[in-house]
Amino acid sequence: MALLTLLLLTTAALAQNFDVASIKPAQPVGPDYNNQLTYSPNGLTARNATLRRLIAESWHLQLNQVLGPNWLDQNEYDLTARAATTVSKDQLTLMLRTLVDDRFHLKHHSESRDLRHYELVVDKAGPKIQPVSDTEPPKPGGGFHFRGDMRQFADLLAVQLSIPAVNDPTQPARASGPPLPVLDKSGLAGIYDFTADIRPELGTDMFTQWQRALAEQLGLRLTSRKGPVEVLVVDDVAKTPTEN
């Protein structure tokens, strides 16, 4: 744990800063709007992002791996940041980490806690998906489309599994509350591009739907565990960021 933390901090120290960055408090609109940030080749934007989301994104963690005061899920912010040149997504997240630390005066530490979580693993028959090159165009097709690495897919599954069962077909399904962590234990490296056929089923929870799709379409599965999970504990942080 200490070695991993030291490596992350050293890498962060080498990250460049954004050329222009703006963070402003936003009128809260609810958790369904802060599940994702938008990346571009030289920056990122976020609308109505909670501070827990910004911290989780910058540390490659999921929401339940960021521990701190309850208001981390309540106060929301608009963020726009641009680098002077094109940089990788990994570099952008390191730059976001520095930005959040500086503007919110974030003080934190890492530790391991026993938490209930899911692990994304390869099914017994083996994976049914293959990695693609970064330059290969997205594959067309209907259904739930994903492109990225398995850690990102695990992050996405964590949000998907927090969506309750649909009981009223006239109402859209929405994520409800912080999701359980989903840790990538698949051992699959590289970038993947695939579509999963996930269709809302009345009275059927998302875990059941995804577990079936993972096994039948992707050659993966989820296992439930309770054990050590790395978390980031917020010791002190400002509610209002310093001026842009």
Residues 78 and 98 both lie in one domain: yes
Over 70: is that where the pLDDT of 173 sits?
no
Q: What is the pTM of this model?
A: 0.74
Q: Are residues 6 and 52 in the same domain?
A: yes
- State which residues form the domain around 197: 114-227
Specify the pLDDT at position 120: 97
pLDDT of res. 240: 95
Decide if 83 is inside a domain: yes
Residue 13: is its pLDDT beyond 50? no
Number of H helices, E strands in the chain: 5, 10
Whether residue 92 lies inside any domain: the answer is yes
Domain end residue (candidates: 93, 113, 133): 113
Residues 108 and 118 both lie in one domain: no
- For residue 232, tell me if it sits in a domain: no
pLDDT at 142: 73
For residue 135, the model assigns a pLDDT of 78
Both 202 and 166 in one domain: the answer is: yes
Question: Same domain, yes or no, for 28 and 63?
Answer: yes
239 domain residue, yes or no: no
Pairwise pLDDT comparison (70 vs 163), residue with the higher score? 70
More confident residue, 192 or 28: 192
- Is the domain of 11 the same as that of 65? yes
- 106 and 170 housed in the same domain: no
Q: Is residue 242 part of a domain?
A: no
- Count of domains forming the chain: 2
Tokens read off for 237: 């942080």
Angle at 97 between CA 88 and CA 26, to 5 degrees: 105
Q: Classify each residue of 206-235 as buried b or exposed e, where b means 16 or more C-beta atoms within 10 Å of its C-beta.
A: bbebbbebbbebbbbbbeebeeebbbbebe
Query: 175-192: per-residue pLDDT in tens?
Result: 555 578 999 999 999 999
Higher pLDDT, 144 or 25: 25
Model pLDDT for residues 88-130, shown as the tens digit of each residue: 888 999 999 999 999 999 999 999 999 999 999 999 999 999 9
Whether residue 240 is contained in a domain is answered as no
49 pLDDT above the threshold of 50: yes
Q: Which of 64, 96, 113 is the last residue of a domain?
A: 113
Query: 11-15, 141-145, 147-151 — which is least confidently predicted?
Result: 11-15
Rounded to whole angstroms, the Cα distance separating 235 from 105 reads: 11
pLDDT digits (tens, 9 = 90+) for 191-240: 999 999 887 777 788 899 999 999 999 999 999 999 999 999 999 999 99
Which pLDDT belongs to residue 22?
95
Same-domain check for residues 28 and 60: yes
Q: Give me the sign of the Cα torsion angle 25, 30, 33, 34.
A: positive
Task: Specify which residues 207 forms β-bridges with.
Answer: none
Residue 30 inside a domain? The answer is yes
| Same-domain check for residues 43 and 119 | no
> Of 76, 98, 113, which residue is a domain's last?
113
- 108 & 122 share domain: no
The rounded percent of the chain whose pLDDT value lies above 70 is: 85
Residue 133 is assigned to a structural domain of this protein: yes
Residues 118 and 222 in one domain: yes
3-state secondary structure of 30: coil
130 and 210 fall within a common domain? yes
- Name the DSSP class of 166: B
